[in-house]
Structure 1
Amino acid sequence: MDWLTATRSFCVLAELGSFTKAAEHQGISASAMSKRIDWLERHLGQSLFIRTTRQVNLTEQGLHFFPRARDWLAQFEALIETAQSEQSELQGSLKIAATQAVGSSVLMPKIEQFLAQHPQITIHLNVLAPGEPPDLQHDVVITRYNESFDSVSHKGTRLFDYQMQLFGAPEYLARCDEITCVEDLAAHKMLLSSYYHKVGGVVLEDGRLFEFTNYNFVTDHLDAILKAAVQGIGLLFIAPSYIERELSSGALVPILPDIRSEVKQLWAYYPKASYTPRKTRLFIEHLKTTL
């Protein structure tokens, strides 16, 4: 056992709060993870965790040790990266989290470009539940800006602004009365993500609240909600950048094109540390340049 291995395992366990999850993250058994923590506690002469049958929590000593351990690991990674020339090829893995809609429609083309430029990088793209805050398991988390999110563990940078608009299938519009104003939408079923089903509405550009009171389909699967819209099951409030393919083919068309949501922002969040890994910096710069 060595200090670096044990400290890395400690930080993962502190973030995940579960020996099983931490062991899976590290690619080892739960008993091996326990032995690493035992080694660290024995050499520090301190108890770092309170263990129960359901969860693992940091002791007071663990709470003091955690930020220092995280900073030390970041400094070690910075030392390794500095030893490698800034001109050298990027290597290793980059863990990214984003909602399913953002991942499939916005990020995938940019990930393809990034991998073409840096073929030695491996990207893990995981699904983030809509409205879920960033976590320390990922190098970069792409999500909508939330002004109430005040994190002591993350930094953030704005990627781009967007507005949502209303869309429907031509076949759907052909069989219903003409939609001339927002009030007409009360007679039409909406297709919603779980997030907007929960919040119940969207603020429009003019400050009005458009409430989602009449809906017939709720899902976080972008392909499913787009298929439902194309099939004429209901109408969809969404950012145009998510449906470029459907718009170009004519499968979906704008409804009330002057009606837009308030301006929203897509942000990239990443762990707050004294040093941001080069692969994280370059990926975020790639997104900001190409989006």
Structure 2
Amino acid sequence: MRVDQLAAMRLFVRIVETGSFGKAARSMDMSSSNATERMARLEEILGLRLLARTTRAVAPTEAGTRYYEVCRRVLGELDEVEASLTCSQDALAGRVRVSANISIARSILIPRLPQWFEQHPQIHIELVMNDRRSDFVRDGIDFAVRIGGLEDQDLVLRPLGRPRRVTVASPEYLRKMGRPKCPEDLAEHHLIDFLLPQPGARLEWEFDRKGKREELFPRSIASIGDSDARLQLAIAGMGIVQSLSFIAAPALREGKLERLLTSWETPAPEVSILYPRDRHLPTRTQVTMDAFTTWIKEVIRDAG
């Protein structure tokens, strides 16, 4: 494999991950025309059309998607070998792009990143915060942290633990409105729903009734599509919310919220790390993944 082909492979990976010839070219300190010429030469060498161009973006073809995975693996292994020949610490340098649920990123990952950076200043973390399924190729994701099941059968799943659904309210609210003793009592209270992205959709309130999972949709006074915002409204005394244990844990420890209906609590979907089955994971990615695994397991366990 020639050196110029390796350079073209690196350029191709950057184009796929940024969705743009211009952005990829700038990141590699070259002109857009030079990038276009190199990609045309690579496609000619391979005899394959790797990229589909539209007026808005660039995306890999089916063959391009397969070639992207090969390039990621080959270039990752090459970087690992080069790092091992120079200095082992160099293997802990470079970009790691992670997709995570917003609630996990805010509650668990972001508070720990400053200390992580002190230990690994050469690892550049790119944290993509969203609650959507990950397109690992299109978004250039190394691994994802998700609440819920396996998104795709071609992904490896590393389970980290199951938080609990907790029902909480502030002491001020409970003094004013009283404490519900069973789920049916919620009909007499001010409830704040979680608003799903689909218009009019609401997340159910889930309880365990004699070992059976029960979903309720009680009347609410507000619906908010952000877990942290709902907790802040609960802390302010506006009403009762149902949340995940690790999100509510800090406010519960500080006495800003109280846990209600504990004997009716249910486990939430499992939190997992996901990554493509056939992808080579550089040392920096493995080290980052191991750290995130430790943090998340500890927080879920301690939240109860």
TM beyond 0.5:
yes
Q: Tell me which residue corresponds to 1:162.
A: 163
Return closer, same or farther for 1:244/1:28 CA change in 2, 3 Å cut-off.
farther
Q: What is the percentage of aligned positions where both structures have the same residue?
A: 26
Q: How does 1:49-68 map to 2 (within 5 A)?
A: 49-59=51-61, 61-63=63-65, 65-68=67-70
CA distance in 2, matches of 1:171, 1:201: 25
What TM-score does the superposition give when structure 2 sets the normalisation length? 0.78
Is 1:289 matched up with 2:290?
A: no
CA distance in 2, matches of 1:85, 1:131: 38
Q: Tell me which residue corresponds to 2:250.
A: 245
Alpha-carbon shift at residue 157 of structure 1 (Å): 1.0
CA distance in 2, matches of 1:64, 1:134: 14
Q: Tell me which residue corresponds to 2:301.
A: none
Return closer, same or farther for 1:122/1:52 CA change in 2, 3 Å cut-off.
closer
Alpha-carbon shift at residue 25 of structure 1 (Å): 7.0
Equivalent AA in structure 2 for residue 126 of structure 1: V
Alpha-carbon shift at residue 150 of structure 1 (Å): 1.8
Among 212, 220, 223, the alignment partner of 1:217 is 223
Q: Tell me which residue corresponds to 1:173.
A: 174
Q: Tell me which residue corresponds to 1:184.
A: 185
Q: Is the 8 A contact 1:201 1:209 kept in 2?
A: no
Is 1:143 matched up with 2:146?
A: yes
Equivalent AA in structure 1 for residue 203 of structure 2: G
Alpha-carbon shift at residue 3 of structure 1 (Å): 1.8
Q: Is the 8 A contact 2:91 2:283 kept in 1?
A: no
Return closer, same or farther for 1:92/1:203 CA change in 2, 3 Å cut-off.
same
Q: For structure 1, which segment, 230-239 or 27-36, has the greater mean C-alpha deviation from structure 2 after superposition?
A: 27-36
Equivalent AA in structure 2 for residue 286 of structure 1: A
CA distance in 2, matches of 1:31, 1:220: 43
Q: For structure 1, which segment, 229-238 or 200-209, has the greater mean C-alpha deviation from structure 2 after superposition?
A: 200-209
Q: Is the 8 A contact 2:169 2:241 kept in 1?
A: yes
Alpha-carbon shift at residue 262 of structure 1 (Å): 2.7
Alpha-carbon shift at residue 272 of structure 1 (Å): 3.5
Equivalent AA in structure 2 for residue 83 of structure 1: L
CA distance in 2, matches of 1:164, 1:271: 29
Equivalent AA in structure 1 for residue 259 of structure 2: P
Return closer, same or farther for 1:55/1:289 CA change in 2, 3 Å cut-off.
closer
CA deviation vs aligned residue, 1:225-277 (integer Å, no higher than 9, x gap): 22211112222211222233311221111111222123431112234445311
CA distance in 2, matches of 1:24, 1:185: 56
Q: How does 1:260-275 map to 2 (within 5 A)?
A: 260-273=265-278, 275=280
Q: Report the 3-state secondary structure (helix = DSSP H, G, I; strand = E; otherwise coil) of the residue aligned with 2:246.
A: helix
Q: Report the 3-state secondary structure (helix = DSSP H, G, I; strand = E; otherwise coil) of the residue aligned with 2:157.
A: strand
Return closer, same or farther for 1:50/1:97 CA change in 2, 3 Å cut-off.
closer
Equivalent AA in structure 2 for residue 176 of structure 1: M
Q: How does 1:226-245 map to 2 (within 5 A)?
A: 226-245=231-250
Q: Report the 3-state secondary structure (helix = DSSP H, G, I; strand = E; otherwise coil) of the residue aligned with 1:171.
A: helix
Q: Report the 3-state secondary structure (helix = DSSP H, G, I; strand = E; otherwise coil) of the residue aligned with 1:94.
A: strand
Q: Report the 3-state secondary structure (helix = DSSP H, G, I; strand = E; otherwise coil) of the residue aligned with 2:133.
A: coil
Q: How does 1:27-176 map to 2 (within 5 A)?
A: 31=33, 33-59=35-61, 61-63=63-65, 65-86=67-88, 90-128=92-130, 130-133=131-134, 135-136=136-137, 137-147=140-150, 149-152=151-154, 154-176=155-177
Equivalent AA in structure 2 for residue 71 of structure 1: R
Structure 1 unaligned residues grouped into runs of 5+: none
Return closer, same or farther for 1:213/1:249 CA change in 2, 3 Å cut-off.
same
Return closer, same or farther for 1:268/1:274 CA change in 2, 3 Å cut-off.
closer
Equivalent AA in structure 1 for residue 225 of structure 2: T
Q: How does 1:2-13 map to 2 (within 5 A)?
A: 2-13=4-15
Say what the alpha-carbon RMSD is for the aligned residues: 3.2
Structure 2 unaligned residues grouped into runs of 5+: 299-304
Alpha-carbon shift at residue 81 of structure 1 (Å): 3.8
Q: Tell me which residue corresponds to 1:201.
A: 204
Alpha-carbon shift at residue 166 of structure 1 (Å): 0.3
Return closer, same or farther for 1:62/1:132 CA change in 2, 3 Å cut-off.
closer
